[in-house]
Structures are given as C-alpha cells and as structure tokens.
Chains A and B, each alone.
Chain A
C-alpha cells in the first residue's frame, strides 16, 4: 500500500470526530462507551501512522506499534470497568440514561 500517512491521519480524525459526536449527543451510556472505543481506535490509527512514517527501508520504528498495544490494553480495561459500572448503575436506577446521573452538580 502506497497511501501517504496524511490520509491515515484524515481517517483517524474522521473516526475521532464521529466518536466525539456520539459521546456528546447520545444519552445511552453503553453507546457512549462504544464511542470511547471508537476514539481510542482513532488514536491507535494515528500511532500506527506515526510508526510507519518514522520507519525507513532498513530500520523499522516500533514505538507507535507498542503504544497501540498499550492503548488496546487500556481500552479493554476501560470497557470492563465501564460495563461493570453500567450494570451497577442499572441496578440502582433502572436506567442507562446519562441524564439520570446528574447528582454531582454545583
């Protein structure tokens, strides 16, 4: 594949923007969590693009790839904890609407 790295970044920006959009406009907390996964994937893509861009024909730069692995790991943890919280929330409030969670205000 001979696509310039800029195009990978444009794709990442698009995915990230869609993730932000969903995060901000959806009230269903599960979908909000999915949008976070989407944003994390966009970040992953950026890391990989950087890794690819910084590799030469002889030496491969793997920093980006390693960070991607860490991001995947964090994503997994986040999903696990997030979903556990959702279950707890559901048991407490019988809902998964983020608007129901407005007790912490000034």
Chain B
C-alpha cells in the first residue's frame, strides 16, 4: 500500500516539477512548486522522516513559497503584463537548447548512477520513525554544534544583507530619482 502511494506521489512530484518549468504564469509556477513540495513531504513521511516532513511543509510551503508569492504580487508579475517574458518559446536561443541537452544529460547521469549503486536491502523496518526529535537534537547540539553555530551566523548575515539591499535601494530612490 505504502509502496504504491510512493510511486504515485513520485509521479505527481515530477509532474508538478515539470509544471514549474513549463507554466507561463509565475503564479502557476509557484503553485506547481507547492504541489511538488507537498508530495515530497509525504514521501519523507513514508520514508520515516517525520520531523523533516513537518519542516518541509512549515519552512518551504509556509515560509519560502509565501515569500515568492509576496514578491510576485509586489512586482505585479502575476498577469504577465509589462514585465512578461519577451517570448513564450521556451527553447529559444542556443544556450537554452544546450541547457535542455545538459539537463537531459544530468538526468541520465543520475539514473545511471542510481542504477549502478549496489545497495544492500534497507534494514529499517517499514513505518518506523527514524528522525526521533530527541536523537536529532543530540546530533545537532553535539556532533554538529559547530555547523549549527555557523548556520546561525549565516542566518544573521542574510538578515543584515536583505535589510541592506532593501535600504540602499530606497536611498537612491529618494536621492537620485533614477529608478
């Protein structure tokens, strides 16, 4: 039962990922991405990673994608008006064509790599929750405390960077009136 659910969700995830790329409207892309993330969250759950499934939904769906939506709405890109892409043809230009070839290549390389991996059967019993919060916390604050601190610095610097980017822009707006 769970296996069938996995394959179905995988198909939906891939399909909605393709939707992100192919959708004409950025709004549609965001919604497709949301669908893809939800499917992945369920797959995490099926694989036994309950905490990560929750984090996936909270952080990605709840925070990041909302941020994307905000920006799209802010810039008024939803209706493909003045700022729409000049051409709807996706494979326009040599770079895009080569890019498609490259993406295909990467997919093939990934498939070959996956098929070549000689994995032993998974020993974890199905349905068992793997990422026990307690154990995860012990790992994070024990073995991975240094990367954890580094991550906090990253977050702080991101915050400062975003504020600086936004603020500087406002200054030139006021002073130069160029934008």
Contact = CB atoms under 8 A, between A and B. Distances in A.
Do A and B touch each other in the complex, judged by CB within 8 A?
yes
Interface of A: 1-28, 30-31, 33-35, 37-38, 41, 44-45, 48-49, 51-53, 55-57, 60, 62-63, 65-66, 68-70, 72-77, 79-81, 83-88, 90-92, 94-97
Most buried by A among B91, B127, B140: B140
A20 B107 CA distance: 9
A60 B103 contact: no
B71 A87 contact: yes
A77 B158 contact: yes
A57 B103 contact: no
Given A3-B6, A24-B102, A51 B14 contact: no
A3 to B, nearest CB: 5
A44 B10 CA distance: 15
A73 B130 contact: no
Nearest to B151: A73
Interface residues of B, number: 93
Contacts of A12: 110
B33 A5 contact: no
A38 B110 CA distance: 15
Contact of B47 (A21, A48, A79, A90): A48
Overall SS of chain B's interface: helix
B136 A20 contact: no
Contacts of A38: 17, 20, 33, 36
A96 B29 CA distance: 15
Overall SS of chain A's interface: helix
A77 B113 CA distance: 30
Interface string B135-152: 110011000100100010
B161 A6 contact: no
Contact of A30 (B3, B17, B77, B113): B77
B28 to A, nearest CB: 10
Given A30-B26, A84-B162, A41 B47 contact: no
B79 interface: no
B69 to A, nearest CB: 10
B99 A21 contact: yes
A65 B131 contact: yes
Contacts of B2: 1-2
A63 B131 CA distance: 10
A37 B119 contact: no
Contacts of B100: 21, 24-25
Contact of B99 (A2, A24, A28, A53): A24
9 contacts: A1-B5, A6-B117, A7-B6, A11-B14, A13-B111, A18-B14, A55-B123, A60-B130, A97-B86
